[in-house]
Amino acid sequence: MSGVSGEGGHADKHDGEHGGTRAATAVLSGAPAIDVTRLRVAIARLSRRLRKHELAGLTPTQLSALATVEQAGPLRLGDLAAAERIAPSTLTRLVSVLEDRGYVERRAVPGDARAWTLVVTSRGHEVLDRIRQENTALLADSLLTLSLDQLAALAAALPALEQLADAAPPDPAG
């Protein structure tokens, strides 16, 4: 049985420490219990720390869109909006900022006079590379504060964390 459990192993949900109630715990028969709230808070705090440095004048949403175009591009604007889960009107403003800074450019789709794709420019690639290098150095420095046992536990957890990061989000409709 899997689920979220509070005290006594009941399958129910609780908001966790920040909501003033008990922390949620993931339970899978025969597996160690995971404090889901602690995990969420730790991941969020680490993510914020990695985003606090200079982002080349971009918001986290703009940076995410730029990285998505680099990874999956060239992309049509609608495909980028769907990938980033943002409204088309928001995307239009976001793409304008990326274009104005020289990080992406629009290219016409051959055979479709109304369609455009976005591609990352060499300047956009350079910015993303610099940000990734800064994040890697920041995280590497943070790892120096951990004990050997903590480093081993983190190394053992990497495949599970990668699986969680790559998993498709649950469909809210069903």
pLDDT digits (tens, 9 = 90+) for 158-172: 999 999 888 877 766
pLDDT tens-place string over residues 124-133: 999 999 999 9
Boundaries of domain holding 109: 60-126
Residue 35 in domain? yes
Whether 171 maps to a domain, the answer reads: no
Same domain, 66 and 114: yes
- A 10 A CB-CB count for 119 gives 14
Provide the pLDDT for residue 68.
95
Q: Look over the chain and give the mean of its residue pLDDT values, rounded to a whole number.
A: 82
Distance CA 132, CA 142 (A): 15
Q: Is 172 within a domain?
A: no
Check whether 36 has a pLDDT greater than 90: no
Q: What are phi and psi of 13, to 5 degrees?
A: -115, 140
Encoding tokens for residue 85?
């889960």
CA–CA gap between residue 141 and residue 138 (Å, rounded): 5
Which of 18-22, 43-47, 74-78 has the least mean pLDDT? Answer: 18-22
> What is the H or E stretch that residue 125 is in?
helix 122-143
Q: Which residues contact 37 (CB under 8 A, 6 or more apart)?
A: 15, 16, 17, 18, 23, 24
Q: Is residue 138 part of a domain?
A: no
Do 64 and 113 lie in one domain? The reply is yes
- Residue 73 in contact with residue 120, Cβ under 8 Å? yes
- What's the total number of domains in the chain? 2
pLDDT tens-digit map of 58-69: 888 899 999 999
Distance separating alpha carbons of residues 146 and 158, to the nearest angstrom: 15
Last-in-domain residue among 94, 109, 126:
126
pLDDT digits (tens, 9 = 90+) for 66-119: 999 999 989 999 999 999 999 988 999 999 999 999 999 999 988 888 888 999
72 and 89 belong to one structural domain: yes
